[in-house]
């Protein structure tokens, strides 16, 4: 069963259970998926759906921070509840060590391809590879930190 089908089934279950908050969040996710399909005239695969879920979670985390700063704990709590619903559709996240190991592997492969040591100027190439390989498995901020550390370690050698 694809992720999109699972989301549709969860929407139906939320309707039956009369869980309005969960239903609202799932409908928002499905609307974002449908919008992307219509805009780009494509059929979304699981990786693309995961990217949409990731983006929606990031938006909600930013909103939580803004609401807490503004003293609106009620709205922050609503956003946190939406994050909890959305996180159910993400695959198991990698830890810092696994991300670091994967990034080092990408850097080593890039060095073999280039025939020279990778440096800070290769960050874009490494990030591009890491983004495709680790899509949905780790937050981009964690990947970026790991790439910077791996490239800095290569330069220090």
* Same domain? 79 vs 107: no
CATH code at 129? Answer: 1.10.10.410
Residue ending a domain, choose from 87, 108, 128: 87
Say if residues 36 and 24 touch (Cβ distance below 8 Å): no
Nearest Cα to Cα of residue 51 among 79, 66, 29: 29
- Is the pTM for the entire model greater than 0.85? no
Per the structure, the count of domains in the chain is 2
pLDDT tens-digit readout, 67-86 = 999 999 999 999 999 999 99
Tens of pLDDT, residues 95-121:
899 999 999 999 989 888 888 888 888
């Amino acid at each position: 069963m694809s992720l999109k089908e699972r989301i549709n089934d969860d929407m139906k279950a939320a309707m039956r259970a009369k869980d309005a908050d969960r239903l609202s969040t799932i409908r928002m996710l499905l609307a974002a998926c449908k919008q992307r399909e219509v805009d780009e005239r494509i059929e979304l695969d699981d990786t693309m759906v995961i990217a949409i879920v990731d983006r929606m979670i990031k938006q909600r985390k930013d909103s939580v921070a803004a609401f807490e700063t503004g003293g609106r704990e009620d709205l922050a709590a609503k956003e946190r509840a939406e994050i909890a619903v959305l996180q159910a559709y993400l695959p198991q996240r990698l830890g810092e060590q696994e991300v670091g190991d994967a990034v080092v592997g990408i850097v080593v492969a890039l060095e073999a391809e280039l025939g020279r040591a990778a440096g800070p100027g290769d960050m874009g190439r490494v990030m591009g590879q890491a983004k495709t390989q680790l899509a949905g498995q780790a937050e981009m901020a964690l990947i970026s930190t790991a790439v910077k550390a791996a490239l800095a370690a290569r330069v220090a050698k």
